Each structure stands twice: as structure tokens, then as C-alpha cells.
Structure 1
């Protein structure tokens, strides 16, 4: 299991804490330090939809120019923006055996998936 995110993100902290308290010991991938690939973003977009992977409610998105925001109309353009602004990725993303299974943190959803 790999949890992708940023260590100081409250949602990532909640997800990691929940996983650890429930007996999981996931690897953590800090995509601010380790980066993220277009291939990985495409897999997440295929699994969840690009609109779910791109966090339009976050500060990073809101700070982007309106020109950049309006440019994002599909998966390809969303990934281009996310590669340049990886803090705009919805987080955390949890993968098991290399497959993306969860995005964000919802305790009820985690209970269903991991119990």
C-alpha cells in the first residue's frame, strides 16, 4: 500500500493516522519531494476521473491565473497543469498493489474498503 500526498496536509494526516490505527503500515510518497509522473496521474484520472484528481477547492488552484484555469478542459490539460502544480492534486491517493483505490479521506469509505 502506498499513500500519495503531502505530509503537512490535514486530510493526508487523517488518512495515514486512520490506516496506522487500523493495522496498516503504508509506504508514504511525498509528491512535493519525490514528484509525480504523467503516467501516474493518468492512472488516477482513469480510476477517479480528472475532475476528482484536480482539486479546484484548494488554495493552489485558486492562486492559478484565470487563463490557466480556463485552459483545463479535459484530462490531458488537467495533467499538464498538475505536473506543474502538484499541490493541486486531490489528496491523499491510496494505491494497493499498484492500483488506485481511494482518493481523499472519508472514514466510512475507508471502513468499507479496508475492513
Structure 2
């Protein structure tokens, strides 16, 4: 079964959930605020997507970080920041086994079958 990593208050996450529901695709929801983010889960996600690709530099969490934390970002520093602030992950993240889809735009899930 697919897992959709979300923040429940995120409009884009709600759109992604609606798209999956409309296609009849079974999935479980993992809320990054409520359910958290373990180091093992982060590594599981990063096995398929580079850490710098999932670091959300447009989020409120990013904007609220101290300026020194936003300087000289490399993979290790990005991992540390995400572990300390799980809402720095771009979302939604759709884990469908061998593939991890980052973000959502209308039509992104059209190729999935229920």
C-alpha cells in the first residue's frame, strides 16, 4: 500500500489526497507533525530522492530558521535540519514502493492505477 506523507493543514496535500481518492488508490496517511519523522524513515525516503531535492526552502519553517542555519547547505546539513524540523520536507511525498513522488500538481497521479 502507498503512503502519503503530509501535513494536514497543507492545501496541496489535500489536493493530492483527493486525487488518490478519486482514482481509488489505497494509501495510508503519515502526518509529519502528528506522526513525526524518525531517522530510519528519513533514510528510507532519501534512498530514492536526494535530500536537497526534498528540502523545502519555500516553507514557513525555512523562513523562520536563523540565517546561519540557511547558509552553506549540503546533504549532511540538510539531513540535520529536516530531522530537527520535519516540516522542512517538501510535501506531499507519495511513497509507492520503488518510487517516491515529491510534491503534487493536478494530473501528477494520472498514470497510477487503483
Q: TM-score, normalised by structure 2?
A: 0.87
SS at match of 1:106: coil
The match for 2:107 is 108
Gaps of 5+ in 1: none
Q: 1:25-64 to 2 correspondence within 5 Å?
A: 25-64=26-65
SS at match of 1:57: coil
Dislocated runs of 4+, deviation >4 Å: none
- In 1, Cα distance between the equivalents of 2:57 and 2:44? 19
Q: TM-score, normalised by structure 1?
A: 0.86
Q: 1:73-84 to 2 correspondence within 5 Å?
A: 73-74=74-75, 76-84=76-84
Q: Alpha carbon RMSD of aligned pairs, Å?
A: 1.6
SS at match of 2:71: helix
Gaps of 5+ in 2: none
Count matched residues: 112
Q: Which has the higher helix share?
A: 1
SS at match of 1:111: coil
Asked if structure 2 preserves the Cα contact closer than 8 Å seen for 1:11 and 1:105, the reply is: yes
Deviation at 1:100, TM superposition (A): 4.2
Asked if structure 1 preserves the Cα contact closer than 8 Å seen for 2:12 and 2:92, the reply is: yes
Provide Cα deviations, 1:40-72, integer angstroms capped at 9, x if missing partner.
222323322112210001111011011111153
Residue 8, structure 1, aligned to residue 1, structure 2: no
